[in-house]
Amino acid sequence: MVNTALARRSSPVSLRVIFGVLLGLLVLSFTLGTGAPAAHAASDVCVANAETACFNGTIKGVGAGVKLTIDGNGLNVVAETDKDGKWNAAVTTAGVYTITLDEKTLPAGVTLKGDAVQERDITLGFTKGAIFAVDGATGEGADNGQSQEQIAAEGFNWDRLAQQVVSGLRLGLLLALASIGLSLIYGTTGLSSFSHAEQVTLGGLLGYTFANVLGLNIFVTIIIVVILTGATGYIQDAVIWKPLRKKGLSLTQMIIVTIGLALAMQYTFQMFWGAKTIRIIKNNPDTFTIGPVTLTFESIWAMGLSVIVLILVGLFLLKTRTGRATRAVSDNPALAVASGIDVDRIIRLVWVIATALAGLSGVMLGLVLNGINWQTGMQLLLLMFAAVTLGGLGTAFGALVGSLIIGMTVELANFVVPGDFKYATALVLLIVILLVRPQGIFGRKERIG
């Protein structure tokens, strides 16, 4: 337990008023979220949730009317491309499906490269793509020089590789927003917060409330969400964590408290927002294609905003007096106290920054995935801990590097393992690296004994 030697001044009245207003906004958003999923408009775009899985893809240059059949597990679903060659289909049972492209529906002069039949294994709550390459279609990318037989034998496709690399970078950046805060909390308090992932869910659900229900501009929504989720960090430390630190609770006891808080938040989300996957923006996402890579515009600016925020966090930690004090507390709390640093104030600030970044990550994930639900944070929790541990516990920059590695590993694993096994590969990589470097990539060796 770390105690500061400096007496803390009471908060100004204006500060209490500000946080009172923020708390009121948070309560209002919970109230508006109640029952909202029932009013959610139906859409032609499949949104994965606990009861649904989605297949999708784009056949470049073929236009509308090309039909595909998804068959398996007692289901037979017919999908059809739109004017941009995009298609998607929903299934309600997990398992292996056969996806067949009807070559008779291809436009005149367009021929299929490779097999018209593919198999995909899918789990409910996830989206999986299927790539069918064609010759003779307007806008079709250049041939990579390999025959379809070579590609099938090697299990490799250059177009797919480019898409997966970009997807891995996107996941890594969004994961880093949440993981950096988790690492800072551990560095300053020694606490591994299992409830931190629920701040990601809270950010996405608040984004839905303000952007979808209230109809606010998405950038205004992001600002409000960051402020509100940051306020929850302030309240958490003031009401829960500081009193527990003062009472001398062990870290093990406090970790159990974070687990209980996580469960309480999950079922609170389910009570107010429902169990279904909800979309932050009502309109179907538009896409942007560069060569073989296709991304939604939301993904592009989400990645750009993530890079900007991560740079600002890095500059804060390196260039500002408060940032240097934060690093000092993380490196050696006892020495920080002796140097006159108000440790309690720094820890409070870390909680605010960490929860605000997690909330921002939740909004970005909701936009990129085109949906969010009460379990989104829980599904990311192990990946967040893997990223923090891989980079080095307590190091913000280690969490960034670890997140990028985990994100890239998860997406590229699709080349060699089916379905959701890709998440297991990230944990396998974590174990292998820790066997070689137990302190993580940027961690420091600790003296034992």
Please state which of the four CATH numbers 1.10.260, 2.60.40, 1.10.3470, 1.10.3210 is assigned to the domain occupying 160-436.
Answer: 1.10.3470
Q: Taking CA 360 as the corner, what is the angle to CA 356 and CA 361, rounded to the nearest 5 degrees? A: 115
Residue 5 pLDDT: 37
Residue ranges for the chain with pLDDT beneath 50: 1-15, 17-19, 21, 27, 30-31, 34-43, 139-155, 447-449
Buried b (16+ CB within 10 A) or exposed e, 250-289: eeeebbebbeebbeebbeebeebbbebbbbbbeeeeeeee
390 close to 399: Cβ distance less than 8 angstroms: no
Tell me the percentage of the chain whose pLDDT exceeds 90: 36
Quote the tokens at residue 430.
């974590």
Instruction: Return the number of other C-beta atoms located less than 10 Å from residue 228's C-beta.
Output: 21
Residue 39 pLDDT: 34
Distance CA 40, CA 281 (A): 11
- Residues with Cβ within 8 Å of 355's Cβ and at least 6 positions away in sequence, in order, are 181, 196, 199, 229, 230, 232, 233, 236
The DSSP bridge partners found for residue 295 are 288
Pick the closest to residue 294 from 100, 156, 80, 131 (CA basis). 131
Residue 203 pLDDT: 96
Backbone angles phi, psi at 342, to 5 degrees: -75, 95
Distance CA 119, CA 109 (A): 26
Pick the closest to residue 376 from 237, 230, 277 (CA basis). 277
Beta-strand relationship, 67-72 and 111-113:
unpaired
Domain boundaries, the chain: 53-146, 160-436
Q: What separation in angstroms does the CA of 307 have from each of 223, 225, 241? A: 17, 18, 30
Q: Which CATH superfamily is domain 53-146 in?
A: Outer membrane usher protein FimD, plug domain (2.60.40.2610)
- Residues with Cβ within 8 Å of 432's Cβ and at least 6 positions away in sequence, in order, are none
248 close to 259: Cβ distance less than 8 angstroms: no
Q: Estimate the crossing angle of helix 396-412 against helix 297-319, to 10 degrees.
A: 160
What's the pTM?
0.69
47 close to 56: Cβ distance less than 8 angstroms: no
- For residue range 312-324, what is the model confidence (pLDDT) as tens digits? 999 998 999 999 9
User: Position 119: which residue type?
Assistant: E
